[in-house]
Structure 1
Amino acid sequence: MKTIKGPAIFLAQFAGSETPFNTLDGLCKWAAGLGYKGIQIPTWESHLIDVEKAAESQTYCDDLKGKVQSYGLEITELSTHLQGQLVAVNPAYDSMFDGFAPEAVRGNPKARTEWAIDFVKKSGTASGRLGLKSHATFSGALLWHTMYPWPQRPNGLVEMGFEELAKRWLPILNHFEEQGVDVCYELHPGEDLHDGVSFERFLDATGNHNRANILYDPSHFILQQLDYLSFIDFYHERIKAFHVKDAEFNPTGKQGVYGGYSSWANRAGRFRSLGDGQIDFGSIFSKLTKYDLDLWAVMEWECCIKSAEQGAREGAPFIKKHIIEAAGRSFDDFAGGETDKKQLRQILGL
């Protein structure tokens, strides 16, 4: 079995315009000072990584990797959550998602999709140059507005939606195959890939593509009331990335999973800082370790109550406490010995 690596931190919720959060050096020094060993880099933060340069220049990637390592850190994955979202956008969401795209392609869905596909592919090249094994992203969504089947979905709609989603992602998946990098979809409400069943539909549509894998984040499952522990039993062979994010679900007589359009702080289901929610991370780390998964444990902070600074301070020791040093031998090895067939037959009465 392998020992999960970490603790690591996703920089997306911390990058900003003020020191030390406005430079890669500043964020690395800050993260290392809090006890983190790895960073997941959001590619839309151009002051942290220039994806165009990274896709073209091995020297740039070597320098970037060396800078991060100089602080005692490793790059765990690159993230294209925002760009992956733009690979597939239903027209109902065009105006809301246009803000994720460069000005040159806003108001032009076809050009936006082409830009997103190209950017994610370049991020795959960059990941390969950086020696990374996994890449974090979203799938985007063409069908999400039909998630609840009322009005009744027309026959063939779901199949067509996943065929189109696969059509857009297959060139990306094939490119990542060439780079030796896994595409890890964060299964997330708002995405067409949001649970095990929808992920399986996508696998079928892509011909069970080797590079179509999962970023496991239990917070999105507790909000859907999905069994996040048995999920690991079903899909451990496809789990290639891991967000450590806590959440809680407190339904009332007034609201449940859908939340009644309430703000995050007032929903029945809401994200919390590590240790403040309801997720059983002890069992999660045990299962992931049992299945011999080669993962970084990456904290993602999105708490609706606690400050980001406190969440980051508490995150590293929380993850460190939960990482299991994988056993190198069985506890009862001392009682073992060479196979003696005569003895075995005797025990069985044969």
Structure 2
Amino acid sequence: MQTIKGPAIFLAQFAGDQAPFDTLDGLAGWVAGLGYKGVQIPSWDARLFDLRTAADSQDYCDEIAGLLAEKGLAITELSTHLQGQLVAVHPAYDAQFDGFAVPEVRGNPTARQAWAVEQLKLAAVASRRLGLEAHATFSGALAWPYVYPWPQRPAGLVEDAFAELARRWRPILDVFDDNGVDVAFELHPGEDLHDGITFEMFLDRVGHHPRANILYDPSHFVLQQLSYLAFLDIYHDYVRCFHVKDAEFRPSGRSGVYGGYQSWVDRPGRFRSLGDGQVDFAQVFSKMAQYDFGGWAVLEWECALKHPAVGVAEGAPFIARHIVQVTDTAFDDFAAGGADRALNRHLMGISE
């Protein structure tokens, strides 16, 4: 068994235009001072990271890694959540997702998709240059508008959507394979890959590609009312990344899973700072240790109530307390009698 690495933090929610949040150096100093040991870097934010340069230049990657190492930090993964979203966009969301892309491809879904695919391939090369083993992203979605079948979905629509999703992702997965990096899809409502069933559907259509894996975030399963602990029992072999994020689901007589179009603070299902929600992290971390997850425990902070500065300060010690330092001995080794095959046969009444 391996001990999970951490605590680490996803920087996407904290990048800003004011110091220390406007540079990687500034953010790194801030989170290191709070006790974090690793950072997951959003590859789309040029204030922090230049993805194309990282793919082209080993020197640049060494400089980034060195800058962080000076502060006692490691890179856990790169993230292409925004670019991954753009690999597959249903036309209903074209206008809303256009802002995720560079200005020159906005308003042109074909060019935008091609840009997103190139971004993922750059991320594969950059991840290899940085010595990373996994990469965090979204799958995008073509079938999501039809998740609740009314009017009834036309026969074959979901199958066709997943076939197309797989067609788009297969070449990307191949590039990650060439670079020795796993793709970890965050299973998330709004994505075609949002639970175990949809991940299996995708996995079948990409021929069980060895680089198609999972970013595990229990908060999204709380909001779906899916068993986040049983999920680990089933899919632990595919978990390559881990977002430590809390959530709660408190349905009422007026609203449930769908939330009634309410703001996050008023929804029955909402994200919370660590320890303020309903996720049983003692069991989550125990299962991660049991199943030999050796990656990073990465805080993704999202909360509709608590101030981010408080949530982030609380996050590092919370994760550190929950990491299971795995044992290399059994608790009853003191009573072990050694191996004696003759004794074993005698105890079971087996004659020679």
TM-score, scaled relative to structure 2: 0.99
The structure 1 segments of at least 4 consecutive aligned residues displaced by more than 4 Å after TM superposition are none
Measured in 2, the distance between the counterparts of 1:164 and 1:262 equals 33
Match of 2:169 in 1: 169
Structure 1 unaligned blocks of 5 or more: none
Measured in 2, the distance between the counterparts of 1:215 and 1:344 equals 44
Q: Equivalent residue of 1:89, what SS? A: coil
Match of 1:54 in 2: 54
Match of 2:293 in 1: 293
Match of 1:245 in 2: 245
Measured in 2, the distance between the counterparts of 1:27 and 1:91 equals 36
Shift of 1:268: 0.4
Q: Equivalent residue of 2:41, what SS? A: strand
Match of 2:218 in 1: 218
Measured in 1, the distance between the counterparts of 2:295 and 2:131 equals 15
Match of 1:122 in 2: 122
Matched AA of 1:231 = F
Measured in 2, the distance between the counterparts of 1:296 and 1:14 equals 19
- Kindly report the root-mean-square deviation, in angstroms, between the aligned alpha carbons of the 2 structures: 0.7
Match of 1:77 in 2: 77
Deviations 1:90-144 (A, max 9, x none): 0000000001111111110000000000011101110010000010000000000
Match of 2:303 in 1: 303
Q: Equivalent residue of 1:68, what SS? A: helix
Shift of 1:329: 1.1
Q: Equivalent residue of 2:277, what SS? A: coil
Q: Equivalent residue of 1:183, what SS? A: strand
The reply on whether 1:104 has 2:104 as its aligned counterpart is: yes
Match of 1:321 in 2: 321
Matched AA of 1:336 = A
Q: Equivalent residue of 2:237, what SS? A: helix
Measured in 1, the distance between the counterparts of 2:87 and 2:292 equals 32
Matched AA of 1:145 = P
Measured in 1, the distance between the counterparts of 2:344 and 2:38 equals 50
Structure 2 unaligned blocks of 5 or more: none
Match of 1:264 in 2: 264
Alignment length (residue pairs): 350
Shift of 1:338: 3.1
Matched AA of 1:208 = H
Measured in 2, the distance between the counterparts of 1:42 and 1:337 equals 53
Matched AA of 1:261 = Y
Match of 2:132 in 1: 132
Shift of 1:347: 1.1
Measured in 1, the distance between the counterparts of 2:315 and 2:244 equals 9
Matched AA of 2:156 = G
Deviations 1:310-348 (A, max 9, x none): 111000000000001001111112222432122112211
Measured in 2, the distance between the counterparts of 1:269 and 1:94 equals 26
Match of 1:227 in 2: 227
Measured in 2, the distance between the counterparts of 1:268 and 1:103 equals 36
Measured in 2, the distance between the counterparts of 1:154 and 1:284 equals 39
Matched AA of 2:72 = G
Deviations 1:246-274 (A, max 9, x none): 00000000000000000000000000000
Match of 1:201 in 2: 201
Match of 1:341 in 2: 341
Measured in 1, the distance between the counterparts of 2:232 and 2:278 equals 17
Q: Equivalent residue of 2:20, what SS? A: coil
Q: Equivalent residue of 1:6, what SS? A: strand
Measured in 2, the distance between the counterparts of 1:242 and 1:347 equals 46
**What's the % identity of the aligned pairs?**
63
Deviations 1:200-236 (A, max 9, x none): 0000010000000000000000000000000001000
Match of 2:156 in 1: 156
Matched AA of 1:198 = T
Measured in 2, the distance between the counterparts of 1:208 and 1:294 equals 22
Match of 1:141 in 2: 141
Match of 1:276 in 2: 276
Deviations 1:9-56 (A, max 9, x none): 000000101111011111010000000000000011111110110000
Measured in 2, the distance between the counterparts of 1:35 and 1:294 equals 20
Match of 1:178 in 2: 178
Match of 1:190 in 2: 190
Matched AA of 2:181 = V
Shift of 1:150: 1.1
